[in-house]
Amino acid sequence: MQFRDSERLVHSLTEDQLTSYRAWLQYNPINQQDYREEIMHLLSTICVKDRNEVIDRALDELSFGLDQMIGYKPAVVRNEEDRSMLIIMIDPTYKAEMYTINLNSEKSMLRGGSSRAILYGVFHLLRLIQQQSKLTGLSIKEVPKNAIRMINQWDDMNGSVERGYAGESIFYKDYQFSKDRQRIYDYARLLSSVGINAITINNVNVHQIESKLITDTYLAEVKQTSDIFNQFGITLFLSINYAAPIEIGGLDSADPLDPKVRAFWKDIAQHVYEVVPNLGGFLVKADSENRPGPFTYGRNHAEGANMLAEAMEPYGGKVIWRCFVYNCKQDWRDRTTDRARAAYDHFMPLDGSFNDNVVLQIKNGPMDFQVREPVSPLIGGLEKTNQFLEFQIAQEYLGQQRHLVYLIPQWKEVLEFDTFAKGEGTTVKQIVSGDVFDNNISGIVAVSNIGNDYNWTGHTIAQLNLYGYGRLIWNPDLTAEEIALEWIKQTFGNHPTVIKLLMEIVMPSWETYENYTSPLGIGWMVNVNHHYGPNIDGYEYMAWGTYHFADRNGLGVDRTQETGTGYTSQYHQENQSLYEQVETCPDELLLFFHHVPYTHKLKSGKTVIQHIYDTHFQGVEQVQSMMEKWEALSSFMDAKRHQDVQERLNHQLENAKEWRDIINTYFYRKSGIADRHNRTIY
């Protein structure tokens, strides 16, 4: 499949939808004549020393981008000539994904350690041109911090997407692979443009039909899909069902120590790799939320994962094993029961027991992608085990892409968190990159937020979270402001008013959402099952009351070692001490770690109850400010994108008011303490 202009192939989209479809690869014409002449002088001729399908995609992209922005396609030659040109070549002395770009008026160079690195370098160059950055004299060196930079699709073969908020699957429809392969191609292009190099294409909750993805029923189409992603330097993985030996193998057991089960997986691995030789490996969710796993047979997770790892090892395959494991049937009325402890309790005793081609996938917090929770203590706890950090781009608990919430500031806090695993300065970003414990496999993964909506992400501004995720995990030292600024310029242009107002909208949006929803680290308080909208006593698997333990005297969960669940003991001493004491615990996580009176004074000087009232009123006001700023942008962009976002913001405001009124009323009635500003609380 060759690169083609999406405008000529996405026939189902109207002209005004195509702008949104292009996302951050707008490549709008540049009218500034001096800049156009600079680009034409530097990039009029491209000398390519090496060719393969990945480099061909890079050349396609460079030619298409320059044609759209400057109005010409560069000449491509095989040999250096005595004229100004850009020389593109693979340098075997470079690390595999490292690239350098050096541009001057005579000869310019783009060197990469692999064809994949060349592709990343071309996208980097086009990113700079879209922002109209000066290129003459440019000298940059880029090496990704994380070796594996992955997306998890939670797509089901019936065409639905679990926690999908942007339409149906682009991969499947009616239990078959989608016939729209171009849409998958375009998605691979978007992911590659921000440095993503791995993807799973099916849900971690694998149903019986998806179990057949590793059989001849679907393997030919898996191969076709893998080939599309391979063109863009992206390795395909599959989620598997741990009970596949029973569901598709005709066995009566999935016991990892059963010789028949081990033989089943060895045969499966051999055949899968015969058909899909570039497959990265398998992703497994086991023993959680009613998923099958080794616990059924009295085995531990190392025994389960290692059995698969042995089957995959001859082919270089990896086993990604999720640490989202907890007993969803436990009695939540018992205040010593604590789901936050589960991952650490299950996996820390197994540290060092996993094979070299196994990697544990750990959610960024101990719970489930809440608006505010501490960093999982497994990160910094495990020292002898490969590990991935898992984020969720899909806004499951953060407004489900109906609300505008920029997630990079949240993820930055996670990555900068000091675990003290090897003393001060042992940050999460250092650990998950593999640098601290010299891991064999390392990186970051996230749950995708895309679907078949014309703009990919439902909410147009949610494209920023997909873009930002790729840029952040390539270089965790980028600031949230730098990433947002890049995206704004590429997506909406370089006008100072556009930049100013959009930055003022997106940068505080995480805090805004937190203000009108869940205060001080409580989390949850959403409707069960679909997780949208306020339900203060709502919580999955919990039919007996509240998760936050609010009563007439106070609220919060006691997770201290001295009087609570003991969760704080899972951290290294410095963080354990920080969280253990009410006096030192950060206010934003206070109610995650402590049960306190409503009259407890925060470090701001406000009481807990007044903080709840104030932030919920403030959050609504902040959404109103967002709307005013967005309205002021109407003349700076196409009507379709402006209208689409305006409609989402209208909904966000109404939902924010609902949150404000329900939360404030609930805690007013619980506490009996009035708002000191005498605002209306029903």
Q: Among residues 289, 418, 621, 661, which one is catalytic?
A: 289
239 by DSSP, 3-state: which?
strand
Give yes or no: 82 in active site.
no
Q: How many CA atoms lie within 13 A of 298 on its CB side?
A: 1
- Short-list 507, 520, 544, 525, CA closest to 397: 525
Please tell me the distance from the alpha carbon of residue 176 to that of residue 217, in angstroms, as a whole number. 10
Q: Among residues 56, 368, 435, 658, which one is catalytic?
A: 368
Give yes or no: 289 in active site.
yes
Query: Which residues contact residue 522 at a Cβ distance below 8 angstroms, ignoring those fewer than 6 apart?
Result: 547, 548, 555, 556, 591, 592
- For residue 485, the Cα-to-chain-centroid distance in whole angstroms is 19
Strand 358-363 relative to strand 318-322, pairing = parallel
Q: Among residues 287, 396, 514, 614, which one is catalytic?
A: 396
Q: Which two tokens stand for residue 668?
A: 């007013």
Q: Which two tokens stand for residue 112?
A: 């990469």
* Separation in Å, CA 249 to CA 204, 252, 284, 287: 20, 9, 17, 20
Give yes or no: 313 in active site.
no
DSSP string across 27-72? -PPP--HHHHHHHHHHHSEEEES---HHHHHHHHHHHHHHHHHTS-
Q: Which two tokens stand for residue 392?
A: 């969720």
Assess contact for 371 and 518: CB atoms under 8 A.
Answer: yes
* Separation in Å, CA 552 to CA 109, 562, 672: 69, 23, 8
User: 588: exposed, middle or buried (C-beta count within 10 Å: 0-12, 13-18, 19+)?
Assistant: middle
Residues taking part in catalysis? 289, 368, 396
